[in-house]
Structure 1
Amino acid sequence: MTIFIDYSLPLMEKFLSVYQHPTTTVFIDDNQRFLDSLSFQLDPRIAHKTFQNAGEAITWIREASRNAAGRGLSIEVSYDEQVLSLERRVVSVDLEQIYRRVMNPQRFLTPSVLVVDYAMPQMNGVAVCEALGSLPCKKIMFTGQADDKVAIDAFNLGLIDHFLTKNDHAVLDHLAVGIRTLGNAFFVDQSSTLKELLGRQSHSFLFDPVMTDLIGRLRKQYDFVEYYLFLNPTGLLFFDFHGTPTLMVIETEAGMLAHFEAARDAGGPAGLVAGLEAMQILPFFSDTGMYVDAIEDSWQAYCLPAQHCQGQQDYFWALFDLPCRYLPGPIYSYADFLSDLLKRRQ
């Protein structure tokens, strides 16, 4: 019998994190043949690192987690400590640090999911998970049939997030689902505080399951493997497998009205004003932010047909190419990372 715990985990995929990118899954098992077989059969797009020695794995995971935090891979939220009242404290967030995270080539080394065997001679899987309990990485434990009670107890104590039996004929499929689901949960947890703050402003789409579903479909359609919340204009900055950026501009009805009023009050071209009023076109005035006279003759180059998504409110969106000036340098893509990883293993 296969035991696959997923209590409420799929619910985490109904809401977006403020950023998400591929990470490294860590496998720990004293059976090297099993690790080699797992590496061979695993989806080649799942970056992973294997350890036969639990102590070495714990050391690497701790160091990798520290490096991730030390290299600006975590989003910091600061508060005005001079104000004694918690309700009156001013919250300060540099929102541009979210999408600047893509400039760090070490981001893919972040350990997000740990897969550990229970029955190891020097240190069992529960002890490994206890040793790493303070870290944010999610944990899956492999067990034998006789170890089900141990796994259930560990799950109930919050030491692990999933457990699987090794002898299940579909274990690789279940493992892939667990890695994907818990990888999403890892980012939801990492950005929960910041997301709560943003959700009260102009980023309500982060909490809308209809928008989450739409973005999931777009990621599959265009092979977007990472995304980051974008501030101005509001939306998500996607990168595909090869590092090509695409900006999804997302406007509410109020945002569309603001664009219309700005163009109308500036005496903009009739076609632009009419399209904005009817909410049929979505602008991304990448040079100016809003409509100005200087782009009167070229306004169409800044607009795309507005796609409509009716969720908890009406959203209008379009996918734009991102001008190079928004990024300070070349992107180290996930394709490059996997290629380099393969070369190091050879």
Structure 2
Amino acid sequence: MNRSKIQPFFFPTTVAFVDDSNDFLVNLSLQLDPSLAFRLFQSATEALTMLNSSKLEAIPLVNKLFSLYQGRDEADHGRQVIDISLGMIHRKLHNERRFDQISVVVVDYDMPRMNGVEFCRQIQNPLIRKILLTGKANERIAVEAFNEGLIDRFIRKQEPDAIETLNRAIQEIQPRYFEQMQRMLSDSLSVGSHRFLKDQNFAACFKELIKRFNIVEYYLACAPDGMLMVDATGASYLLIVQSEDQFQATHEIAYDQLAPPELLKILRSGEVVPYFWKTQGIYSPIYQDWRSYLHPATRIEGTEWYAYTVVKEPEGFNLKHVLFYADYLERLDARTLDGA
């Protein structure tokens, strides 16, 4: 994850390995990071057909989020208003095929009928990152392919630490699949209530939270603003983030809704972050047991002051039928054992 900003969403993706040697693929699979989802292809043609298939999310999620706002004033032809459907982001969590997306391809150079460089040239999805495995005799070709932008890395098979280098390279470039995809979305959100996404100090804090809770996927949430975070086994956490102006708005709405004086005093203190999940984060008189909806706040100073809290297993998100990453990896293992 980029330390300077937070991506609006992230989930594990799959790495495709392409090599005409089955023995090499089998040996390689035993040395890969056990938390990595991968597919092995002995046929370059089969792999390329799969990568360019329309069955694989041809339209990235980010593209689906933007549309022309239909409620604009048609009399103002010089003004275009773009609508962003943020609710679609966390619903991606319910897509069982999200982990199937290929983010990185690792391909051997020396293959019959199609070498690795030509293979990379024919991949249609520009978001996929590419690593070329090469022997010493092909190093010049690999350098030329790198300079041309066809590949992101090249690794020499003969090196004694080749597998270690490969695992590290995958870990480093896999997030770029999302960074490139989400650049427009991040820029759009940075002018609204999700300014924390581009705050470097908050991004560093978020990185620590990801590490502390062993998070493998997360999704932007709104009402209240924050991040829905999930670990590999399905344990979920809602990170709620409030800026100073959002704190003020929360208090003012509660005041207008005739909230109890004690609650108004607590909200003014800045020591809690409320999670009124039944009413999209807004206080309502229905919360007679309002104390159970308040969570301790942690304050952090970035380009502005923020307060955040983490709510474990947050109500308001139905994750009962979601396929989580650990289950997905078990399915992949079973598929491999069955020879599928």
TM-score scaled by structure 1?
0.88
Percent same amino acid at aligned positions?
Answer: 33
**Counterpart secondary structure, 1:43:** coil
Secondary structure of 2:175's match? helix
Map of 2:332 onto structure 1: 341
1:76 alignment counterpart: 65
Question: Residues 57, 85 of structure 1: CA spacing in aligned structure 2 closer, same or farther, 3 A cutoff?
Answer: farther
Answer yes or no: is the 8 Å Cα contact 1:229–1:235 preserved in 2. yes
Give distance in 2, aligned partners of 1:292 and 1:43: 48
Contact 2:133 2:157 survives alignment (8 Å): yes
Partner of 1:315: 306
CA gap 1:212/1:173 in 2 versus in 1, 3 angstroms: farther
The count of corresponding residues between Structure 1 and Structure 2 is: 334
Structure 2 residue 42 is matched with structure 1 residue 42: no
- Name the aligned partner's letter for residue 236 of structure 2: P
| Compared CA separation, residues 118 and 220, structure 1 to 2 (3 A) | same
Show the counterpart of 1:291.
283
Kindly report which structure 2 residues correspond to 1:5-44, keeping only aligned pairs within 5 A, or say none.
12-44=2-34
Summarize the Cα distance change of 1:66–1:211 in structure 2 as closer, same or farther, 3 Å threshold.
farther
Q: Counterpart amino acid of 2:65?
A: E
Question: Does the CA-based 8 Å contact 2:52-2:124 persist in structure 1?
Answer: no
Deviation at 1:234, TM superposition (A): 0.6
- Is the aligned partner of 1:174 residue 2:165? yes
Which of 183, 189, 198 aligns to 1:207? It is 198
Letter paired with 1:327: N
How has the CA–CA distance of structure 1 residues 311 and 169 changed in structure 2, closer, same or farther, with 3 Å as cutoff? farther
Query: How many Å apart are 1:85 and its aligned residue?
Result: 9.0
- For normalisation by structure 2, the TM-score amounts to 0.90
Q: What amino acid is aligned across from residue 31 of structure 2 in structure 1?
A: Q
Judge conservation of contact 1:27–1:50 (CA < 8 Å) in 2: yes
Task: Identify the residue that residue 124 of structure 1 maps to in structure 2.
Answer: 115
**Residue 223 of structure 2 corresponds to which residue in structure 1?**
232
Q: Secondary structure at the match of 1:250?
A: strand
Candidates 232, 236, 240, aligned match of 1:245:
236
In proportion to residue count, which structure has more helix? 1
Which residue, out of 262, 273, 287, partners 2:264? Answer: 273
Cα 1:266–1:324 change in 2 (3 A) is closer
CA distance in 2, matches of 1:153, 1:85: 51
Report if the CA contact (8 A) 1:199-1:206 is conserved.
yes
- Aligned 8 A contact 2:3 2:207 in 1: no
Residues 145-176 of structure 1, C-alpha deviation per residue, up to 9 Å, x if partnerless?
Answer: 33332222212211111222223333333322
Output the aligned Cα RMSD.
2.5
Cα distance change of structure 1 residues 174 and 278 upon mapping to structure 2, 3 Å threshold: farther
Specify every segment of 5 or more residues in structure 2 that has no aligned partner in the other structure, as ranges. none
Return the alpha-carbon distance in structure 2 between the equivalents of residues 128 and 87 of structure 1.
45
271 and 181 in structure 1: CA distance in 2 versus 1, 3 angstrom threshold: farther
Tell me the residue number matched to 1:150. Answer: 141
